[in-house]
Amino acid sequence: MFAVSPWVEPKATACLVLADGLVLMGEGAGAQGTAVGELCFNTSVTGYQEILTDPSYAGQIVTFTFPHIGNVGANEDDVETVAVEASLAARGCVLRAPITAPQNWRSRETFGAWLAARGIVAITGVDTRAITARIRDGGMVNCALAHNPNGDFDIEALREMARTAPDMAGAELATTVSGREARGWTRGAWGWDAGTYGDASGTGPRIVALDYGIKGNILNLLSERGANVTVMPASSTLEEVMAARPEGIFLSNGPGDPGATGEVVGETLRGLLGKGIPTFGICLGHQLIGNAIGASTKKMKQGHHGANHPVLDIEKGRVSIVSMNHGFTVDAGTLPENAKETHRSLFDGTNCGLALTDRPAFSVQYHPEASPGPQDSYDLFDRFLDMVREHAAANA
């Protein structure tokens, strides 16, 4: 006779507590400790490293709707944060399935080890569909995510941390994730044959990229096209930007409430727009242009986070599938007479682009640089640099 041992349910080593009261137990991964932030969901099926290192996710915890995250491992080439501090992006992540061993030739370490090294707390084994439905129906909610190998959790303390966490509305985060010093950028686009990034020391138009939490691939694509790129801090003054003699201005993506950030950087942006320098904005940069010209921005219920969003180019009648990551939107109904709506989301009709009619400036809400996502909109970088060259020739 063989003795049969009774099955014992494994002890939970992670706990996710939402401000609305929901408590989920699971298995911990990544860094140990507690992360507090706004809980959102991302519908991408790949590119988890790029997502978690996108500074636009600062102050947030990401639920991945795709169940298998981590099975291609991790490497340093897919990191989008360009600031030195590794913590200037997502604070945590929520996963359905346990992290598996990597199966990819580019992997250098397991996803779990990579999360731990970057201080990102994770929970696995929870119902991410239920979380997504909850956010879809009730909106994004603050949460506390704890990972403790001993399985000891103070639920009430975690619930209080979630309830008292700062709201994203009114949060000025862009200047906290921005680089602190001006610097050049000479890395080009990824080359599959070489297996690395190219060297693209641009000698073309001088572009000042204002860093509100900029992603590395944006800078790569500008440099790859010959631009001479200088990245400058979000807090740069008009005088400091003009001292770099820019022929074009790029306004980057970033986290937080554009209304709050606009109070800090708005004077510089209005000054730059007033000088008629060709300007291109992405995501937060798009929202900041909107605020600078007098339009209003507003918080969205669930935001847009994923790589499968259909966007209509209103003038061309063309639909592109794009990457998005934002929780605020420009209210198209408040655009002034010298601005026109150029793009619109086919999911919910929200504004996804604008252009000024009296000066060379345009912007989009989505991420044409992808990383991760489709490359349908790479041509916007060409459009921007063509605008810069044409303006320079006309004013030579």
Query: Does 3.50.30.20 match the CATH number of domain 14-163?
Result: yes
Q: Catalytic: which of 38, 304, 369, 391?
A: 369
Q: Catalytic: which of 247, 283, 326, 391?
A: 283
C-alpha torsion sign, points 292, 296, 299, 303: negative
Q: Residue 319 CB: number of other CB atoms within 10 A?
A: 12
Q: Catalytic: which of 309, 326, 367, 391?
A: 367
- 267 catalytic? Reply is no
- 369 catalytic? Reply is yes
3-state secondary structure labels for all residues of 235-272: CCCHHHHHHCCCCEEEECCCCCCHHHHHHHHHHHHHHH
Along the 396 residues of the chain, how does pLDDT read in single tens digits? Answer: 555 555 546 789 999 999 999 999 999 999 999 999 999 999 999 999 999 999 999 999 999 999 999 999 999 999 999 976 656 899 999 999 999 899 999 999 999 999 999 999 999 999 999 999 999 999 999 999 999 999 999 999 999 999 999 999 999 999 999 999 999 999 988 888 888 888 887 789 999 999 999 999 999 999 999 999 999 999 999 999 999 999 999 999 999 999 999 999 999 999 999 999 999 999 999 999 999 999 999 999 999 999 999 999 999 999 999 999 999 999 999 999 999 999 999 999 999 999 999 999 999 999 999 999 999 999 999 999 999 999 999 998
- 367 catalytic? Reply is yes
Query: Does 2.40.50.140 match the CATH number of domain 174-394?
Result: no
Which residues, other chains included, contact 375 with Cβ-Cβ below 8 Å and sequence gap of 6+? none
Q: Which two tokens stand for residue 386?
A: 């063509």
**What end-to-end distance do the CA atoms of the chain give, in Å?**
94
Sequence spans of domains, the chain: 14-163, 174-394
Q: Which of 29, 15, 88 is nearest to 58 (CA)?
A: 88
The radius of gyration computed from the CA coordinates of the chain, to the nearest angstrom, equals 22
- Same CATH topology for 14-163 and 174-394? no
Torsion angles phi and psi, residue 381, rounded to 5: -70, -35
pTM over 0.85, yes/no: yes
